[in-house]
Amino acid sequence: MEPEQPAHELPETLVASRRIFVRRAAQMGGALAASGPVASLLAACGAPSNVRARSTPTATATTAPTATPDTRPVTVAITGDIMLSRSVGARILATSDRFPFNDTADWLSGFDLTVGNLECVVSTLGRPQPKQYTFEAPPRGFERVTAAGYDIVSLANNHSGDYGPAAFADMLAHLPAHGLTPLGGGMNLTQAHTPVIRTVRSTTIGLLAYCAIGPMNFAATATTPGHAWLDAARMSADIRALRPQVGFLLVFTHWGIEYHTTESSDQEAMARIAIDAGADFVVGAHPHVIQPSSSYRGKPIVYSLGNFVFDEMYGEQERRGSALTLTLQGSRLLNWSLRQSRIGAYGAPVWEQ
């Protein structure tokens, strides 16, 4: 019979096993504690219960480097009315290029975010509503808007409901499949007033859109699709709710009096209400002509961008439009400018500068 070993000594086979384990664990960078895996291994190997495993230094945890925020400025472009119906729609069906954006798509595609007012319903459904002008564009129009570089299209205008709720809902359903996010419109009131929020690099931008031009039955209700109606109290509540979520907040409005080259008192009042509620920039469309720019409390207002894509606009003022460009960095507006366009053949825009 072999003599019993003293309690303070480990059998050689156990010592060897422990050394192998510790060496391998060290090579793997493991943190070994006396009460952890080593002790469990020793117990499994038959170590006496009154022997404590020798503690080893705990490896210092390596902290992953923090990613450096990408604070490069963000560029945004916004255009006025894009009407893809009538002769424009016919030309879309007859062409296979980027019409009506052949002369403007390259420039528009160069921005981090491009927004436009879709002044029609793109669908094959519904019936013309009882109004003077109704615009329904062929579904191929989606492809042309995408090819032009647009990311977001406002539905808050007086033509998005021209062929009724079914056509509006059909357009709403097809926009995302073409990489287009609807703004100022939805399947109900809540969705129509839901902002679009985009984070580009380190800048978070929030957008809201509203229509102040009838017919009012194009506006969304609690149970029916449509656009967001421009109501001062509701707009202010929307802006206040959005403000803490974004660095820069922009409001896109459909308002004003057609063919008036100056803003109305209602436009001025609504712009100021928006800025008082927290908007950083207010820009508008609808009058079919360019209207002046202004500011309030240091925040810019562009009352009307004029037309961008439109047919049957024969007067010189109606043929001219502006594309708004913004350069943002976080909550800072670094600069903004307007690039002039002019409607050419078949309602397609070309740059004047």
Tell me if 327 is assigned to some domain.
yes
pLDDT at position 65 is 74
pLDDT at position 63 is 67
Q: What are the φ and ψ backbone dihedral angles of 160, each rounded to 5 degrees? A: -70, -20
The b/e string for 261-290 (b: 16+ C-beta within 10 A; e otherwise) is eebeeebeebbbbbbebbbbbbbbbbbbbb
**Whether residue 43 is found in the same domain as residue 98:** no
Tell me if 102 is assigned to some domain.
yes
pLDDT at position 45 is 41
- The last residue of one of the domains, among 40, 63, 86, is 63
Number of domains composing the chain: 2
**Whether residue 169 is found in the same domain as residue 91:** yes
Going residue by residue through the chain, which has 353 residues, state the pLDDT in tens, using 9 for 90 and above. Answer: 444 443 333 344 433 443 333 344 444 443 333 334 433 433 444 444 443 343 444 445 566 677 889 999 999 999 999 999 999 999 999 999 999 999 999 999 999 999 999 999 999 999 999 999 999 999 999 999 999 999 999 999 999 999 999 999 999 999 999 999 999 999 999 999 999 999 999 999 999 999 999 999 999 999 999 999 999 999 999 999 999 999 999 999 999 999 999 999 999 999 999 999 999 999 999 999 999 999 999 999 999 999 999 998 889 999 999 999 999 999 999 999 999 999 999 999 999 97
User: CA of 304: how far to CAs of 258, 274, 308, in Å?
Assistant: 10, 16, 11
- The CATH number covering residue 116 comes to 3.60.21.10
Which contiguous run of DSSP H or E holds residue 197?
Answer: strand 196-200
- The last residue of one of the domains, among 63, 85, 100, is 63
**Whether residue 59 is found in the same domain as residue 78:** no
The parent domain of residue 25 ranges over 11-63
**Whether residue 208 is found in the same domain as residue 337:** yes
Tell me if 4 is assigned to some domain.
no
Question: Length of the chain, please?
Answer: 353
pLDDT at position 61 is 55
| The 3-state secondary structure of 252-270, one letter per residue | EEECCCCCCCCCCHHHHHH
**Whether residue 30 is found in the same domain as residue 96:** no
What is the C-alpha to C-alpha distance for residues 215 and 235, in angstroms, rounded to an integer?
19
Neighbouring-strand partners of residue 324: 78, 338
What is the C-alpha to C-alpha distance for residues 114 and 74, in angstroms, rounded to an integer?
11
Residue 41 is encoded by which pair of tokens?
A: 């291994």
**pTM, 2 dp:** 0.81
- The last residue of one of the domains, among 35, 63, 91, is 63
**Whether residue 139 is found in the same domain as residue 51:** no
Which residues, including other chains, have CB under 8 Å from residue 172's CB and lie 6 or more apart? 155, 182, 185, 186, 187, 225
Which residue bears the tokens 């073409």? Answer: 178
Number of Cβ within a 10 Å radius of residue 2: 4
pLDDT at position 200 is 98
